[in-house]
Amino acid sequence: MDIKIFQQGNKFLGTDFPIICGAMSYVSTPNLVASVNKNGGFGCLAGGNMSAEELEQQIDKTRELTNENFGISLLTISPQFHEQLYLCQWKKVPYIIFAGSFPKKNEIKMAKESGAKVICYASTNSIAKRMVRYGVDALIIEGDEAGGYVGRKGLNILLQEILFDDIGVPVFVAGGLFSGKLAAHMLMMGAAGVVLGSRFAASKESGAHPKFKQNFIRANARDAVVVPQFDSKLKVVPIRTLRNKTLDDFYKLKEKLLKKLKKEKISHTRAQKFVGTFWIHTLRSAALKGDVEKGALMAGQSVGLIKKEQSVKDIIEELVNEIKQETERVKEIL
């Protein structure tokens, strides 16, 4: 389908459609990545907290299933981050996406030296410009409507701060996206492409447990809440997840850690590690084992728009058809 607003993203990603399936730990399996690629989109593996050995197996399996480009998202705040980065260099991964926080200049250089195209998240205009100076090939601006680790601004503000600023590299947009109609307007405003997570998490090819998917289908947008930073003494990246008993357990953990910090019975680094470990274990429990009561159900606010489980093929076809219809409608009224 020859749609002019697809050209920038397709050229950068090597896709038929500039639709990225966001990387989701324990959900973005090689099968999901390959299914997205097969249907013209761009799939991403999630490095998460996997060991280098585990990630290597995921890369090799993905390459068995697809000959198309795919990306690997590396969490800069993960204890496994540097091992994963070295592995991606060695495996000549075509696209490396830095997430969670912001990479250092030498880390971006390392990724680029392997031949990879580098994509970074940007939550402010100043960070976007810094990442461009560091040499990134593209940016993702993600509003706090998204699931998992989020920034502190909505997508509408980021569009005006970064996308409209002509930053000099392709800019993909994420956070709260579900329909092709909205995606069309993102593209018409200059976005190179769109990133969807929650909708693909509930797809038939997703690696998530059936109970995990059913909770997505039943949820309302207001059920996806941000777990905030309660005290500056314990700095954590905000996380958006569905409301359940996990939140109560997390609040108790934070209260316990803050008391230890104030009494100097634990270091700040170790306290942060406890927080990270908590989310890793609870997300794994929900996504892989189906513990939807005490497991973390990380979801964006678009979860309220998911009404059924669809195949990746149907999701992408629906998105593309809606994008085409909306661009044609806009042409008619201008």
Sole residue written with tokens 């290597």: 56
Report residue 131 as tokens: 């990442």
* Residue 228 confidence (pLDDT): 76
Q: Which residue has the higher pLDDT, 73 or 149?
A: 73
* Residue 269 confidence (pLDDT): 81
Report residue 217 as tokens: 């289908």
Give the chain's mean pLDDT. 93
Q: Which residue has the higher pLDDT, 149 or 296?
A: 296
Span 42-46, average pLDDT? 97
* Residue 305 confidence (pLDDT): 97
How many angstroms separate the CA atoms of 261 and 143, rounded?
31
Q: Note the helical H segments in the chain.
A: 7-13, 30-38, 52-65, 81-90, 105-113, 125-134, 155-161, 180-188, 198-201, 210-218, 245-262, 268-289, 312-333
Is residue 263 very low, low, confident or very high in pLDDT (cuts 50, 70, 90)? confident
* Residue 308 confidence (pLDDT): 96
Spatial strand order of the sheet with 148-149 comes to 148-149, 239-242, 224-227
- CB distance 227 to 250 below 8 Å: yes
* Residue 29 confidence (pLDDT): 96
Span 285-301, average pLDDT? 95
How many angstroms separate the CA atoms of 59 and 165, rounded?
35
* Residue 50 confidence (pLDDT): 92
> What is the tens place of the pLDDT at every residue in 199-254?
999 999 999 999 999 999 999 999 999 987 667 777 777 889 999 999 999 989 98
Name the nearest CA neighbour of 191 among 220, 160, 234, 229.
160
Report residue 111 as tokens: 């990724």
- CB distance 301 to 240 below 8 Å: yes
DSSP string, 52-100: HHHHHHHHHHHHHH--S--EEEEETTSTTHHHHHHHHHHTT-SEEEEES
How many angstroms separate the CA atoms of 11 and 16, rounded?
9
| Percentage of the chain modeled with pLDDT above 70 | 99
**Residue 1 pLDDT exceeds 70:** no
Span 46-64, average pLDDT? 95
* Residue 72 confidence (pLDDT): 97
List, in order of start, the domains of the chain with CATH numbers. 4-208+302-324 (3.20.20.70), 226-301 (no CATH)
Report residue 120 as tokens: 């970074």
Q: Greatest CA span in the chain, whole angstroms?
A: 66
* Residue 320 confidence (pLDDT): 97
* Residue 230 confidence (pLDDT): 66
> What is the tens place of the pLDDT at every residue in 85-120?
999 999 999 999 999 889 999 999 999 999 999 999
Report residue 272 as tokens: 């942060």
Q: Which helix (H) or strand (E) holds 243?
A: none
Spatial CB neighbours of 284, under 8 Å, sequence gap ≥ 6: 25, 26, 295
Q: Which amino acid is it at 260?
A: K
> What is the tens place of the pLDDT at every residue in 22-37?
999 999 999 999 999 9
Is residue 184 very low, low, confident or very high in pLDDT (cuts 50, 70, 90)? very high
* Residue 2 confidence (pLDDT): 59
Local structure of 307: helix, strand or coil: coil
**Residue 161 pLDDT exceeds 80:** yes
Angle of helix 105-113 versus helix 125-134 axis, rounded to 10? 50
